[in-house]
Structure 1
Amino acid sequence: MERPDWAPPEVDIEKPSIARVYDYWVGGTHNFAADREVAKAIADKNPLLPRTLRSNRAFLRRAVRELTALGVDQFLDIGSGIPTRGNVHEIAQEGNPDSRVVYVDIDPVAAAHGRAILAGDPRSAAILGDLRKPHDVLAAPETTALLDFSRPVGLIMAAVLHFVPDSDDPAGLLRAFADRLAPGSYVVISHAGMENKPKPEDVPASSQTYLRNVSEVYWRDTAEVTALVDGLDLLEPGVVPVPLWRCGPDGDPDGFGAQAHALACVARKN
């Protein structure tokens, strides 16, 4: 297989990557035959999973547009995956060409692809980093070079806090990042879950296989996700299924709604 320019030489393009499987599901182009084969096999058994992930990506785009319209021009995206088509830097820079974005992911494959994709963009960077080590992320040279924490920042934690068990205090980790943010900053969250959390045996086996390849997932309900942003001001409509967060005047046109096994919210730091 011919290696495209955006594929770093250290990445094995014939071995499936969870980051690239996700990229395929959300409509990206930074994936290969091995990734697409795995993605299609899982989707055949559980079509709701990729649909939920696409709804999550659509929510992220809506949230970034909202924050850009509110004057936010810098973003820190924790657990970003591969910054492929329609990701934060593209959406933010549509609203404000001077917007700056730092992507952070614990997956070396995602970080390597991110660095290659963003090589020509001086306002964006992708770094290898761990949500559980806020100081290291905030002190990284790319972070300090691109982001000014004396001004509002959009902190994005989309589909990442559900990998953090209660024993690691996900709310405390979020606060460690939020404490560094200036007043007028925003926190964007999406999280695996629903009003009534499913039992492990109720989660389709194909979803369990995919999620085990990423990390163990800790489902949380609406009250638990709301508690993560305690001390911040929730924007309307609060914590809702990802397709329903400010979905526009047409509402939820395909009726997916609560079938999406993910919740979303945006909160402001005053």
Structure 2
Amino acid sequence: MDEQRRERLWQLVAALIEHAGERPEWVRAVCEVAAGEVHADAAVISLRTAGRAQDLVAASGDWAESLEELQYTVGDGPAVEAFTTGEPVLVDDLTSGEGRWPGFADGAAETGAAAAFAFPLQTGAVRLGTLGLYRHRPGSLSPEELANALTLADLSTTALLTDSSGAISPVANWAREDVPGHYDDVHIATGMLATQLQISLADALLRLRAHAFSRHLPLIGVARAVLNRELRLDSFTD
């Protein structure tokens, strides 16, 4: 590691320690540090799987959560692409992404999002999730901001894999039930729908997403309506 990268790493570690105090809070602190070091208006970290399952780990606020929820509902967007490809996705003007992510771009614009930058959280061939950064104004990241974002993504990956004692821990433990937008209800509703309709989990999730998108509802709200028996399962039949 060259001297400049080492200095940047320790500066960001110092900032994380200042915000978090303890390593279990490092993932949440990344969202706060990103605002100052990358000049992001919103930051969010999610765990993801190849099957598009997702859990919100930390977010800088309601706006960040809503952008992550939007991507979960429609199944596309910068963070989804970053996880799928394993490469950073840097979009300095989201209006240019209308054809790229038709389900995401319009909804994001309605919330005031103008630029998006997403980074995969990965180590070797193992991909854990994504760090998403958003701005109200269009414009690219400066070289220094990009370097800081990449370093924060690396630090997030380490935090997800390591507990406070330094031992390897299951990343699922980072999914926080106290964070609005926690997606366990979606997983359970998907399983119920798959069993009832005798379809695959992937098809069940697709039907939940289609229902949510066509009615401009958050996916988690549709799932909770299913679990609370407020929405009949036969509403999802062909």
Q: Quickly name the TM-score band, shorter chain normalised.
A: under 0.3
